[in-house]
């Protein structure tokens, strides 16, 4: 979805997640089926090979007795085996120009209205309290409401995702260079009390605990005390699973506050790495694996 029309596409598909489908045909998009257009675009771009087409056909044959003609609407098997990062990047660049003329105007206007509603609520409540009581009370309540609106917007900008092969926001070969038994996720956005529980979701989709877990925090601009507590609980949970942790990419305020709180002395923390290369070296050293020649 283009940024002018609503929230952007998800950062990446988390490990263990099969597929998330949002039906926008007939509500946000008019005209031919969006999925049909995407299928043809993927086919023309060379994403769909014999394996994907065979999976698509096999799904249709298997479930045709149960769903009839509706089976093609439920059939997402053509995505089988495709790298999530490459498909996400392709769809992100394909969707805006492909759907630009198909957005349903009233629905888009309603989304924009919902986005601005928080500001309107703060303005109207402040105005009403000023008239009914006094300016001091109105400002106090307005500041509190504005803080809640701000926290909500900040929380929606946070994402946690596995680093996939070809991830545009990481080193091109980062996934391939990870030794066996090492997993890597990326946390993006401020790590504060309103989103601290997001770290609990990182380990949920992982079926077999890795020996070492690298958590990329390069895109975390700030961490508060609740965020540090959430990190500590995350490291403790990993320790119970037999998984050591490396925090990578810390800079500025996040690095300073973790250093101030002696977080680097946690017994299950292998270290605070400046970047991916240092984190990879720490993991190899812990696993006693010699560095591969460049």
The answer to the question of residue 106 being in a domain is no
The answer to the question of residue 52 being in a domain is no
Indicate the pTM of the whole model.
0.50
Same domain, 168 and 282: yes
Q: What is the mean pLDDT of residues 21-37?
A: 67
What average pLDDT is seen over the chain?
76
The answer to the question of residue 61 being in a domain is no
Question: Looking at the predicted structure, is the pLDDT value of residue 108 above 70?
Answer: no
Same domain, 189 and 216: yes
Same domain, 146 and 223: no
The answer to the question of residue 22 being in a domain is no
The answer to the question of residue 57 being in a domain is no
The answer to the question of residue 39 being in a domain is no
Which of 123, 156, 189 is the C-terminal boundary of a domain? 156
H or E stretch at 287: helix 276-287
CB 78 within 8 A of CB 48: yes
The answer to the question of residue 259 being in a domain is yes
**Which residue range forms the structural domain that includes residue 184?**
161-287
Name the nearest CA neighbour of 19 among 71, 72, 84, 89: 84
**Total structural domains within the chain:** 2
Same domain, 148 and 217: no
Which of 101, 129, 156 is the C-terminal boundary of a domain? 156
Question: Looking at the predicted structure, is the pLDDT value of residue 229 above 60?
Answer: yes
Same domain, 169 and 277: yes
Q: What is the mean pLDDT of residues 76-81?
A: 84
Backbone angles phi, psi at 246, to 5 degrees: -125, 125
Same domain, 242 and 196: yes
């Amino acid at each position: 979805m283009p940024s002018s029309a609503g929230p952007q596409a998800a950062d990446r598909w988390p490990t263990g997640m099969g597929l998330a489908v949002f039906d926008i045909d007939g509500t946000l998009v008019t005209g031919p089926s969006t999925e049909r257009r995407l299928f043809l675009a993927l086919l023309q771009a060379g994403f769909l090979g014999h394996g994907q087409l065979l999976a698509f056909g096999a799904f249709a044959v298997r479930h045709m007795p149960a769903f009839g003609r509706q089976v093609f609407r439920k059939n997402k098997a053509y995505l089988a085996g495709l790298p999530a990062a490459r498909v996400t990047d392709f769809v992100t660049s394909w969707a805006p120009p492909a759907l630009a003329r198909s957005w349903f105007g009233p629905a888009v206007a309603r989304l924009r209205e919902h986005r601005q509603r928080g500001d309107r609520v703060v303005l109207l409540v402040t105005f009403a309290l000023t008239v009914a009581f006094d300016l001091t009370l109105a400002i106090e309540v307005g500041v509190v409401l504005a803080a809640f609106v701000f926290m909500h917007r900040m929380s929606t900008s946070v994402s946690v995702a596995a680093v996939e092969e070809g991830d545009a926001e990481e080193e091109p070969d980062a996934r391939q260079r990870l030794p066996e038994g090492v997993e890597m996720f990326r946390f993006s956005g401020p790590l504060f009390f309103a989103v601290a529980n997001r770290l609990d979701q990182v380990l949920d989709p992982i079926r077999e605990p890795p020996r070492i877990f690298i958590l990329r925090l390069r895109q975390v601009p700030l961490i508060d005390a609740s965020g540090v507590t959430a990190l500590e609980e995350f490291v403790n949970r990993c320790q119970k699973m037999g998984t050591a942790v490396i925090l990578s990419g810390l800079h500025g305020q996040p690095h300073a506050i973790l250093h101030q709180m002696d977080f680097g002395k946690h017994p299950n923390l292998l270290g605070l790495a400046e970047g991916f290369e240092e984190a990879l070296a720490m993991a190899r050293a812990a696993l006693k694996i010699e560095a591969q020649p460049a």
